[in-house]
Amino acid sequence: MVDLLLLVLLVIFALYAVYETDLLSSVVILSAFSLIMTIVWTRLNAVDVAFTEASVGAGVSTIIFLSALSRTKRREEITRNGKKLNIYNFLASLIVIFTGSVLIYGTFDMPDFGDFDAPVNNAIAPRYIYGSMAELGIKNFVTSILAAYRGYDTLGETTVIFTAGVAVVILLRRRDL
């Protein structure tokens, strides 16, 4: 029930952020969207992804958006004919709906959440838990997963956070120096 409520909130926030013409309101709603996604990732036991979502999605991205907004107009301009919805928005919406449908269809073949007979519980997790000491010599298997087995993923996450930090520094630097 909680997961369904979070999903509904995510859909409402996403639609509100897309159709809102006040860009400051869109930035605030996108930040709230990221915070809800942090809760979703935490409920899915992906704490490292939740931490990255909270720091980059809700934190750094909000600062970057607000910095960019401070250098532009706050309101989105309406098109010539006064209608915000045009053929390009309609086509983009169709593409998003199609892509989402394909992704949802792809989840029908997945095992149930928490299923003990799922492949991840039979092959991958035992290897990480019981084999990391023998393979890598690292006593803490969480460290061995993050540093060795998922090293490139962790490097990518670190690179994203570093790049976002550099972007914030560049955007917020003083111009009179």
User: pLDDT per residue over 58-87, tens digit each?
Assistant: 888 888 888 888 877 777 766 655 555 567
Residue type (1 letter), 156? G
Residue 148 lies in a domain: yes
Give residue 81's pLDDT. Answer: 58
Provide the domain limits for residue 121.
115-177
Residue 138 lies in a domain: yes
Alpha-carbon span 58 to 56, nearest angstrom: 6
Q: Is 119 exposed, middle or buried (0-12, 13-18, 19+ CB in 10 A)?
A: exposed
Residue 110 lies in a domain: no
Whole-prediction pTM value? 0.58
In contact, 111 and 119? CB cutoff 8 Å = yes
Residue 127 lies in a domain: yes
Phi first, then psi: give them for residue 22, nearest 5 degrees.
Answer: -85, 110
Give residue 174's pLDDT. Answer: 62
Residue 175 lies in a domain: yes
In contact, 43 and 2? CB cutoff 8 Å = yes
Number of domains in the chain: 1
What stretches in the chain show pLDDT beneath 50? none
